[in-house]
């Protein structure tokens, strides 16, 4: 089984879409989705500055749109009978759901655009953010985070946990980290995957009520607990995860148990293959940041 992984917010970089826009079909999809959601995905993926694409309302649909076009290109490049499964980190779950066939591309983009706006509004209510914590004892970290009035938002595996909460509390935690731990502020504008996002859950649930889901063409894993998603649960999980911790660590445990042979991360790639190198020792990975990387992915599959 080869896992195709879709990254989450924070992975975007200025100009990261540029190499993919040499294909007229990719550009046409992006133009159509831009019309649907009212955001210029091509400009944001090629010429917009870092500050612009850090905006939650812009970043989320940009990342998902990019992941879908790269994922489609990858599926076309791989042999038809390749055993693939999909998983996404946070908003990347919408990318994965679309590529697995659970959501239409248009529905995925529409929901994510609303999700981004709703999460940006929720973030504006209280100054909050997120920080990555590297290393240390997990039990010590859990107690320290609770004592600091913060919350564990992403369990990423490979010795990394992302914590979230009010900015003043995060700053104090960074200045006084538990022994053996390094705290790195992240460029996201809110305490995602915590109770601060409950208003966004409500808004997304209302929109999702009118969306039709489909039986997946490929296995799809959930951040909820790392399990494979049943068709009846897929949309509800996508809604709930806005205010629930991301359990990417459990996803990687499931990949390992299910016999992962390799991981291919969709653009903007790097974060998830980095985690895989630490947590899935010996599993080959490919970061798909340009069309040239499709050949490397094909080599990985052919050589397995």
Residues belonging to the active site: 90, 193
For 101, phi and psi rounded to 5 degrees?
A: 100, 5
How far, in Å, CA of 269 to CA of 130, rounded? Answer: 20
Torsion angle defined by CA atoms of residues 82, 85, 91 and 94, in that order, rounded to the nearest 10 degrees = 80
Let me know: does 59 contact 92? Beta carbons within 8 Å.
Answer: no
Q: What angle do CA 265, 117, 223 make, to 5 degrees?
A: 40
Give the C-alpha separation, 297 to 77, whole Å. Answer: 9
Tell which residue, 40, 90, 89, 102, has the closest CA to residue 65: 40
Do you know the residue count of the chain? Answer: 304
Dihedral angle, C-alpha 148, 169, 155, 209, nearest 10 °: 110
- Mark 276-289 as b/e (b = at least 16 C-beta within 10 Å): beebbeebbbbbbb
Q: Are residues 242 and 119 in contact, defined by beta-carbon separation less than 8 angstroms?
A: yes
Integer distance in angstroms from the first to the last C-alpha of the chain? Answer: 10
Antiparallel, parallel or unpaired: β 128-134 and 160-166: antiparallel
The 10 Å Cβ neighbour count of residue 47 is 13
Instruction: Let me know: does 294 contact 304? Beta carbons within 8 Å.
Output: no
- Cα 183 to Cα 83, 127, 129: the distances in Å are 38, 19, 13
């Amino acid at each position: 089984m080869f896992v195709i992984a879709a990254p989450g917010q924070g992975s975007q970089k200025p100009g990261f879409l540029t190499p993919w826009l040499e294909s007229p079909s990719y550009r046409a999809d992006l133009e159509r989705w831009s019309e649907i959601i009212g955001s210029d995905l091509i400009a944001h993926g090629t010429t917009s500055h870092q500050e612009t694409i850090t905006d939650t309302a812009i970043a989320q649909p940009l990342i998902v749109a990019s992941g879908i076009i790269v994922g489609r290109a990858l599926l076309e490049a791989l042999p038809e009978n390749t055993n693939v499964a999909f998983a996404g980190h946070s908003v990347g779950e919408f990318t994965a759901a679309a590529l697995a066939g659970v959501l239409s591309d248009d529905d995925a983009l529409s929901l994510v655009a609303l999700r981004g706006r709703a999460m940006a509004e929720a973030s504006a209510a209280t100054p909050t953010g997120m920080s990555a914590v590297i290393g240390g004892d997990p039990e010590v970290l859990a107690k320290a985070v609770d004592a600091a009035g913060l919350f564990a938002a992403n369990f990423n595996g490979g010795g990394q946990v992302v914590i979230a909460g009010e900015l003043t509390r995060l700053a104090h935690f960074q200045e006084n980290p538990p022994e053996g731990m390094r705290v790195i502020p992240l460029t996201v504008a809110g305490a995602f995957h915590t109770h601060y996002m409950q208003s966004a859950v409500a808004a997304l649930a209302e929109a999702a009520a009118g969306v039709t889901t489909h039986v997946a063409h490929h296995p799809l894993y959930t951040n909820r607990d790392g399990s494979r998603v049943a068709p009846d649960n897929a949309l509800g999980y996508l809604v709930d995860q806005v205010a629930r911790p991301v359990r990417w660590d459990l996803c990687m445990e499931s990949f390992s148990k299910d016999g992962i042979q390799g991981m291919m991360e969709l653009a903007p790639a790097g974060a998830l293959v980095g985690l895989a190198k630490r947590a899935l020792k010996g599993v080959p990975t490919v970061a798909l940041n340009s069309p040239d990387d499709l050949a490397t992915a094909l080599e990985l599959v052919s050589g397995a």
